[in-house]
Amino acid sequence: AQSVAQPEDQVNVAEGNPLTVKCTYSVSGNPYLFWYVQYPNRGLQFLLKYITGDNLVKGSYGFEAEFNKSQTSFHLKKPSALVSDSALYFCAVRDKTNDYKLSFGAGTTVTVRA
Amino acid sequence: AAGVIQSPRHLIKEKRETATLKCYPIPRHDTVYWYQQGPGQDPQFLISFYEKMQSDKGSIPDRFSAQQFSDYHSELNMSSLELGDSALYFCASSPIGSGLSTDTQYFGPGTRLTVL
């Protein structure tokens, strides 16, 4: 079975400071990892994904994520957070088998204060 | 850029009624997924279709059924609605490609279903 865990329900940072949202995964094979962001009353917006190759993945809105196989982690990062980054962030995983669905973490609410 | 379209955006039903949710994928996307997100919860996979055939099935109640049509749009039919069915229902689509498991799923804005 595949799963991801987001250990923090909430992350609070000041604007301009670095932002990190943590995610660890558990899959039987090679993971395909995704980050999505959800603004209030909106759908899920795709930020970035890791499939293979470079462990540092760059995505939308200045976000990046680092795949770490030894620590089974895929943390989302942004060097300088903006107030507009305040939202709910979901990590998701698919494994390499013929399994199309995404399994989501519980989500992390990010609040960036001015 | 075109996005996934879902209708209606909001739906209010009474218990034991039926509801039909519609999803129109991004053009040239042939795979559709349905997810249910309860209040304060993460999205849970319900069912998916690839080239109009059911490709995977998750925790979808027997009271729910879905299909994908020749134009690739999909409908989720929900019968004998219960209070616990109140949730945000997302549709996502992914593009035609050889690496299905690597394709990105693009989500629609969701349909908020309230069962009274």
Is the Cβ pair B101, A95 closer than 8 Å?
yes
**Residue recorded with tokens 């042939």:** B30
Residues with Cβ < 8 Å from A43, sequence gap 6 or more?
B4, B90, B107, B108, B109, B110
Is the Cβ pair A101, B56 closer than 8 Å?
yes
Residue B83 CA to residue A29 CA, distance in Å, equals: 38
> Would you say how long chain B is, in residues?
116
Out of A46, A96, A97, name the one closest to residue B104 (CB). Answer: A46
Give residue B102's pLDDT.
Answer: 62
CB-based contact (8 Å) between B30 and chain A? no
Provide the token pair at A29.
């094979």
Residues with Cβ < 8 Å from A38, sequence gap 6 or more?
A44, A45, A87, A88, A89, A90, A107
Are A27 and A95 within 8 A, CB to CB?
yes
Give residue B5's pLDDT.
Answer: 96
- Cross-strand pairs, A11: A110
Contacts of A97 in chain B (CB under 8 A): 101
Distances in Å between the Cα of B10 and the Cα atoms of A87, B20, B90, B116 are 22, 12, 12, 13
Give residue B97's pLDDT.
Answer: 54
Are B69 and B60 within 8 A, CB to CB?
no
Least Cα distance to B21 among B97, B102, B95, B90 occurs for B90
Give residue A16's pLDDT.
Answer: 97
Least Cα distance to B36 among B51, B54, B21 occurs for B21
Give residue B76's pLDDT.
Answer: 97
Provide the token pair at A87.
């939202």
What φ, ψ does residue A35 adopt, rounded to 5°?
-125, 135
Strands A3-5 and A24-26: antiparallel
Give residue A97's pLDDT.
Answer: 62
Q: pLDDT below 50 — which residues of chain B? A: 98-99
CA distance B17 to chain A (A): 25
Give residue B98's pLDDT.
Answer: 44
Out of B33, B42, B50, name the one closest to residue A107 (CB). Answer: B42
Residues with Cβ < 8 Å from A70, sequence gap 6 or more?
none
CB-based contact (8 Å) between B100 and chain A? yes
- pLDDT tens digits in sequence order for chain A, 114 residues long: 778 999 999 999 999 999 999 999 998 877 889 999 999 878 899 999 998 888 999 999 999 999 999 999 999 999 999 999 999 999 999 865 656 788 999 999 999 999
- Cross-strand pairs, A93: A33, A103
CA distance B81 to chain A (A): 23
Inter-chain contacts counted by CB atoms under 8 A, chains A and B: 61
Is the Cβ pair B108, A43 closer than 8 Å?
yes
Is the Cβ pair B110, A106 closer than 8 Å?
no
CB-based contact (8 Å) between B96 and chain A? no
CA distance A15 to chain B (A): 25
Out of A42, A98, A101, name the one closest to residue B45 (CB). Answer: A101
Sign of the dihedral defined by the CA atoms of residues B58, B61, B65, B66, in that order: negative
Contacts of B106 in chain A (CB under 8 A): 46
